[in-house]
Amino acid sequence: MQLTDLGWNPHFEASFQPLAGEGARPARVAREDRGLYRLWTETGTMTGRVTGRFSGQAQCPADYPAVGDWVAAGQNPHGEAAIHAVLPRTSAFARGAAGGGNTEQVLAANVDTVFLVTGLDGDFNLRRMERYLAAAYGTGAQPVVLLNKADLCDDPEGAMEEMEGIAPGVPVHALSATEGAGLEALAPYLGIGRTVALLGSSGVGKSTLINALLGDDRLAVAAVRVSDSHGRHTTTHRELIRLPGGGLVIDTPGMRELRLWGDEDAAESAFADVAELARGCRFPDCSHASEPGCAVQQAIADGALALERYDSYLKLESELRSLARRHVRKQRQAESAFRKSDIERERKRERRSRRRLASEDGE
First vs last C-alpha separation in the chain: 69
Distance CA 22, CA 72 (A): 9
Give me the domains of the chain, ranges plus CATH numbers: 3-86 (2.40.50.140), 92-251 (3.40.50.300), 262-363 (1.10.40.50)
Beta bridge partners of 249: 196, 241
Neighbours of 46 (CB within 10 A): 18
pLDDT for residue 136 is more than 80: yes
More confident residue, 115 or 285: 115
Residue 75: its pLDDT value, please? 82
Report the candidate in 76, 85, 88, 74 with the shortest Cα–Cα distance to residue 24. 74
Would you state the pLDDT for residue 294? 93
Does the pLDDT value for residue 179 go beyond 90? yes
Coil, strand or helix: which one is 294?
Answer: coil
Answer whether 1's CB lies under 8 Å from 44's CB: yes
- Do 120 and 155 meet the contact criterion of CB atoms below 8 Å apart? no
Q: How confident is the model at residue 258 (pLDDT cuts 50, 70, 90)?
A: low
- pTM of this structure: 0.75
pLDDT band for 240, please (50, 70, 90 cuts).
very high
On whether the CB atoms of residues 211 and 219 are closer than 8 A, the answer is yes
Find which of 28-32, 165-169, 199-203 is predicted with most confidence, using mean pLDDT.
28-32
CA distances from 252 to 6, 129, 229, 312, 353 (A): 18, 16, 19, 25, 56
**Residue 363 pLDDT > 70, yes or no?**
no
Reported as a pLDDT band with limits 50, 70 and 90, residue 315 is confident
Nearest to 126 by CA among 173, 163, 167: 163
